[in-house]
Amino acid sequence: MTNSHPATPKFLRRAVAAGVLLSCLFLAGGCKTSDDATAAASQLAATAKTLTNYYSALDTILGQTDQLNAVQVVLYGIPYDAPIKAEIADTRAEIQKRAAIAKGLTELAQNFAKLTGSTASTDASASAGKLETEVESLKLTKGKMSSDEQALMKAAVDLVVKAIQERKEREAAQGISKFAKALAGFFTKEAPDYESIARDYSAISSSLAKSLLQNGQTDPSGFFKVALDPYGLEPQITDPKLKNGIEMLAEQQVDLKAKALDEAHKNASDDMEKCLKQMADRIDLVANDKPMEVRTVPVTLANVEKWAEPFITKSLSSASSRSAPKAPAKTK
């Protein structure tokens, strides 16, 4: 068995890009009709929520990978070097910052109505300023981004804040729409980093599961429930031959599930990319005073949510169990 660790991905660009993408549509919407503005606000809120959940799911995956590495140390003595552990922790920190940015964008979307017309609300201006601060808190690296591209993103965020403060939505919309067109390119460049996180998680978890199977440290009863459940019977496997015979089937199931995990994330990543490209196209229409006829969120958002939901549920369940108060000890 080999120890598998996720390489630290270059998370920063897409978080910043997503922030500017959504902020762009806010500003552009202020230059259009009220119908376009309302549609833009709805799509922005949904996109920001999905981004938050996507990042939260990746954070959970990294947390579980950290735990699996620690388990391998205890069970098999496989090294989990301090630098690798720190690398995973740093990666999680960057993912959490991205999730915070996406959550902040949801707040900005909720304030969208206050940006329509010729005035900018204090709340919306404060939200944009908070977004700028969150973007600046990220550790900017240039592994997959040129200095010119990085400068463009920073200038775009500054432009969003300045435009809201000076009530110059139209002036900001054209420049920001150019940045939005580059979003899909950044997303595509970064996709392998996200896929590496998912692959490493499925690799180490499936390896550990199969090792436990081979050492007789699992209960194969679950394989027989499909036959016994209709009759209200519970499996109780005691025959060693039966236990050993089911091991091969169990290992095949582990392999199939690991492959399914990889495919599910790949599809979610592809769907998120499609969504961002669609949003960029719609922003371009609004920013250039063309009708935005689509009034629904990109359909691919639902697919991303479906992938993220199980990981988010696990994270919430784990947090709840850690915070649950302990029952007082009984006294005689």
Q: One-letter amino acid identity for 82?
A: A
Question: Closest Cα partner for 274 from 293, 309, 302, 295?
Answer: 302
Which residues are within 8 A (CB) of 81 and not within 5 positions of it... i.e. 6 or more apart?
none
Q: How many CB atoms lie within 10 A of CB 46?
A: 19
Q: How confident is the model at residue 137 (pLDDT cuts 50, 70, 90)?
A: confident
Max CA-CA distance within the chain? 78
d(CA 304, CA 48): 12
Q: How confident is the model at residue 164 (pLDDT cuts 50, 70, 90)?
A: low
How confident is the model over 227-267, as pLDDT tens digits?
Answer: 999 999 988 888 888 888 888 889 999 999 999 999 999 99
Question: Closest Cα partner for 48 from 87, 20, 22?
Answer: 22
- Can you give the pLDDT at residue 49? 86
Q: One-letter amino acid identity for 32?
A: K
Q: Which two tokens stand for residue 105?
A: 């964008």
* Cα dist from 120 to 117, 155, 158, 172, whole Å: 8, 20, 16, 14
d(CA 198, CA 251): 20
Task: Tell me if 212 sits within 8 A of 198, measured CB to CB.
Answer: no
- Can you give the pLDDT at residue 251? 92
Q: DSSP labels for 166-182?
A: HT-HHHHHHHHHHHHHH
Which residues are within 8 A (CB) of 288 and not within 5 positions of it... i.e. 6 or more apart?
174, 177
* Cα dist from 30 to 169, 210, 238, 284, whole Å: 7, 56, 70, 14
pLDDT exceeding 70 applies to what percent of the chain?
61
Q: DSSP labels for 266-300?
A: HHHHHHHHHHHHHHHHHHHHHHTT------S--TH
Average model confidence (pLDDT) across the chain: 75
7-29 exposure pattern, b = at least 16 Cβ within 10 A, e = fewer = ebbbbbbbbbbbbbbbbbbbbbb
Helix (H) or strand (E) holding 67, with range, is: helix 34-76
How confident is the model over 183-210, as pLDDT tens digits?
Answer: 566 667 777 888 999 999 999 999 999 9
Q: How confident is the model at residue 292 (pLDDT cuts 50, 70, 90)?
A: confident
- Can you give the pLDDT at residue 273? 85
* Cα dist from 260 to 3, 148, 175, 206, 265, whole Å: 21, 39, 41, 12, 9
Q: How far apart are the first and last CA of the chain?
A: 50
d(CA 4, CA 65): 9
How confident is the model over 32-48, as pLDDT tens digits?
Answer: 445 665 676 678 778 87
How confident is the model over 50-109, as pLDDT tens digits?
Answer: 988 998 999 999 999 999 999 999 988 989 999 999 999 998 988 888 788 778 767 766
Give the up-direction half-sphere exposure of residue 80: CA atoms within 13 A in the CB hemisphere: 19
Tell me which DSSP letter residue 115 carries. G
Helix axes of 122-136 and 12-29: crossing angle, nearest 10 degrees:
160
